[in-house]
């Protein structure tokens, strides 16, 4: 599956974070076998000394045991900001589980994001945290498009994992990201996840680095009728589409009794209630 797997020593597993939803981030792996075609984390390759393309290697981290974890009490720790902590290698190496076990009595607030259902293995461990939430990235219900974009598990398996966590009383999030203009059907996804999650995060597709040309070329051949739109957005810098979509989502939320917020770390909806929607289209403009 991978061109390269290696085990590496890491000075620390927790780093200060600039994310709008967390103060610290933790990534038990470098690289990711899900090989998402739009992966923003591919910038990490410049620090790894790997000749292999992004997605063709994974470094498995080992770090000194965390000491005095109570100092993280009340702090938000985001697990999986630049890798999937439950990618397939986690089944063998268990580094994400090891991190959770170290943090178990810390009283830290834990956020986990994944595209996998392997997280079900750790449901009981995760449930032991008093403040924890788990997010699944879902940006389509179309398996053909999903298979073009990543090597993670099917959307059906993600939805089933989300359901089990939700019914176990754990705060769950549907992370609709990245939203591909006129390809991601947000309303269809919302209908699929209602009754399975407390929050919905919405994030627009950002194209930069090596994968910008790759995605634009994909649109050219698979969705040629959308090429002019994508060029307007990603070549000319036109934000009109996102402004329009923001307005449509606000109107949709008002008509369907949903709470719709922009750039906020929202309070999750109570269990049994429709999820709260949070728009992070403009996350680059957030001032922490």
Q: Would you write out the chain's pLDDT as a tens digit for each of its 288 residues?
A: 556 899 999 999 999 876 656 689 999 999 999 999 998 866 666 667 777 887 889 999 999 999 999 999 999 999 999 999 999 999 999 999 999 999 999 999 999 999 999 999 999 999 999 999 999 999 999 999 999 999 999 999 999 999 999 999 999 999 999 999 999 999 999 999 999 999 999 999 999 888 899 999 999 999 999 999 999 999 999 999 999 999 999 999 999 999 999 988 889 999 999 999 999 986 554 333
How far is it, in rounded angstroms, from Cα 164 to Cα 8? 34
Q: Is 137 exposed, middle or buried (0-12, 13-18, 19+ CB in 10 A)?
A: buried
> 36 in the Ramachandran plot: left (φ > 0), alpha (ψ -120 to 50) or beta?
beta
Q: What pTM value is reported for the model? A: 0.93
Nearest to 262 by CA among 204, 205, 184: 204
pLDDT confidence of residue 116: 98
Q: What's the burial of 224, exposed, middle or buried (CB within 10 Å: 0-12/13-18/19+)?
A: exposed
Taking the C-alpha atoms of residue 235 and residue 216, their distance in angstroms, rounded to an integer, is 10
- What DSSP element (H or E) covers 250? helix 240-255
* Predicted local confidence at residue 49, as pLDDT: 75
């Amino acid at each position: 599956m991978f061109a390269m797997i290696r085990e590496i020593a890491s000075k620390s597993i927790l780093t200060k974070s600039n994310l709008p939803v967390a103060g610290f981030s933790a990534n038990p792996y470098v690289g990711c076998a899900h090989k998402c075609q739009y992966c923003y984390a591919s910038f990490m390759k410049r620090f790894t000394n790997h000749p292999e393309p992004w997605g063709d290697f994974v470094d498995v981290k080992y770090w000194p045991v965390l000491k005095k974890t109570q100092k993280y009490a009340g702090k938000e720790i985001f697990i999986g900001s630049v890798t999937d902590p439950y990618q397939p290698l986690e089944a063998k190496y268990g580094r994400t589980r090891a991190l959770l076990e170290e943090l178990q009595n810390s009283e830290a607030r834990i956020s986990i994001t994944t595209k996998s259902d392997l997280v079900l293995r750790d449901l009981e461990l995760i449930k032991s945290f008093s403040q924890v939430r788990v997010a699944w990235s879902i940006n389509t219900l179309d398996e053909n498009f999903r298979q073009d974009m990543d090597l993670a598990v099917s959307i059906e398996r993600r939805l089933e994992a989300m359901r089990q966590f939700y019914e176990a009383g754990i705060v769950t999030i549907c992370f609709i990201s990245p939203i591909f203009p006129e390809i991601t059907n947000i309303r269809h996804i919302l209908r699929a996840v209602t009754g399975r999650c407390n929050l919905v995060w919405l994030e627009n597709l950002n194209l930069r680095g090596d994968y910008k040309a790759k995605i634009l070329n994909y649109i050219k051949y698979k969705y040629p009728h959308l090429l002019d739109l994508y060029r307007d957005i990603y070549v000319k810098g036109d934000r009109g589409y996102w402004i329009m979509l923001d307005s449509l989502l606000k109107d949709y939320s008002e008509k369907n009794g949903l709470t719709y917020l922009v750039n906020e770390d929202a309070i999750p909806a109570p269990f049994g209630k429709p999820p709260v929607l949070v728009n992070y289209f403009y996350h680059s403009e957030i001032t922490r």
